[in-house]
Amino acid sequence: MLEVLTVVGARPQFVKAAVLSRFVQRSEWRDRVHETLVHTGQHYDENMSEVFFREMEIPKPDVNLSTGSGTHGKMTGQMLEKLEALMLERRPDVVLVYGDTNSTLAGALAASKLHIPVAHVEAGLRSHMMAMPEEQNRKLTDHLSTWLFCPTQTAVENLAREGKPVGNAVSATADLPWVGNVGDIMFEASFHYRPQALARAESLLNSLPSQFFLLTIHRAENTDDPARLAAIVQAINAQTETPAVFPIHPRTRKILAERGLSFAPHVHLLDPVGYFEMLALEQRCEFVVTDSGGVQKEAYFFGKPCLTLRDSTEWVELVDSGWNTLVGADAATIAAGFSNLKTPSEAPNLYGSGDTAYQICQTLLGGR
């Protein structure tokens, strides 16, 4: 029996972890893999209620470390201390982490110090902006990991350019890791949940214009920079041809008010929405304008072109294929992006075939 301790710290990571957690509960895997799900408590989310876990078919965490919020150093340090104690108690065979949060790095660090192999899902992603905490977390985690589960071939190539040596799954170590493209686990999640999403969001969709584009803005590089945020608002207000739907976080709404910024009437502001509602909006919209990494991908999953309000992206294959256009936070560049927006004629297979959980389990089990 392979004992896996999975570390998550935010709601999106629970959605990713749910794919693997559901998979190992199948009868043919239940006697081969046992998972302990640990929530660091990095993000308190009042929407993560009993209903959230039930509707999303997500197992509730076996352990909640209740770390709470704070500075990056404080949070990571507290999580590191608590995770180390838990790993000493549980002694798992593998510690599995997702993505690029402080929880990801803390889980990888704690395991590495205890010589417990680390498996990193979504390895190899690079924005090439080390000022981003996410870039720091993902790069450090990659270099501590024994198994690097890449979502794209681009991610595999990023690791090769960094000189990452490659071993095989059975004898892999942190010095000679296994590196492979297993596809994107969020692609698998979107396939699982999309049949339910439209039905569950029917009342929301009925209250919106029949045609709209989906807008999301939440990254600190945009919300905390007065010039960038003002330019984005100016550009969105100027695009009146298609209404916008913007699920806005309370923090972003507060910042807009403090700076005297407001959106034009064609921008419909919503309170934050859940995962099902977000999938439904992505399915129903005409196109997407976002600064979110995950939403860029989900736009592609649903065949929607995307304008990204960032200067770089870790999902470069979307830009290369013409499905994503980087427009930064310059009003003129954003306007040009709207004017030139079109849906490409081809949609290459960028994110695998929807069997990521199976490939992860097979690789971790190796010769077992």
**Catalytically active residues, by annotation:** 218
Phi, psi dihedral angles at 238 (to 5 degrees): -80, -15
């590089």: which residue's tokens?
221
Question: Residue 254 is encoded by which pair of tokens?
Answer: 């507060």
Q: How far apart are CA 158 and CA 124, in angstroms?
A: 6
Q: How far apart are CA 40 and CA 20, in angstroms?
A: 18
Q: How far apart are CA 344 and CA 318, in angstroms?
A: 11
Between the two ends of the chain, the Cα-to-Cα distance in Å is 8
* Helix orientation angle between 185-200 and 293-301, rounded to the nearest 10 degrees: 70
CA 158 to chain centroid: 18
């590495």: which residue's tokens?
112
CB 272 within 8 A of CB 288: no
Q: How far apart are CA 279 and CA 211, in angstroms?
A: 16
Phi, psi dihedral angles at 65 (to 5 degrees): -80, -10
CB 103 within 8 A of CB 10: yes
Sign of the CA dihedral 53, 57, 62, 66?
Answer: negative
Q: How far apart are CA 179 and CA 155, in angstroms?
A: 10
Q: How far apart are CA 171 and CA 38, in angstroms?
A: 27
Taken as a whole, the chain contains a residue count of: 368
Q: How far apart are CA 351 and CA 296, in angstroms?
A: 13
Sheet with strand 244-247: strands edge to edge? 267-270, 244-247, 213-216, 288-290, 306-308, 324-326
């895997």: which residue's tokens?
29
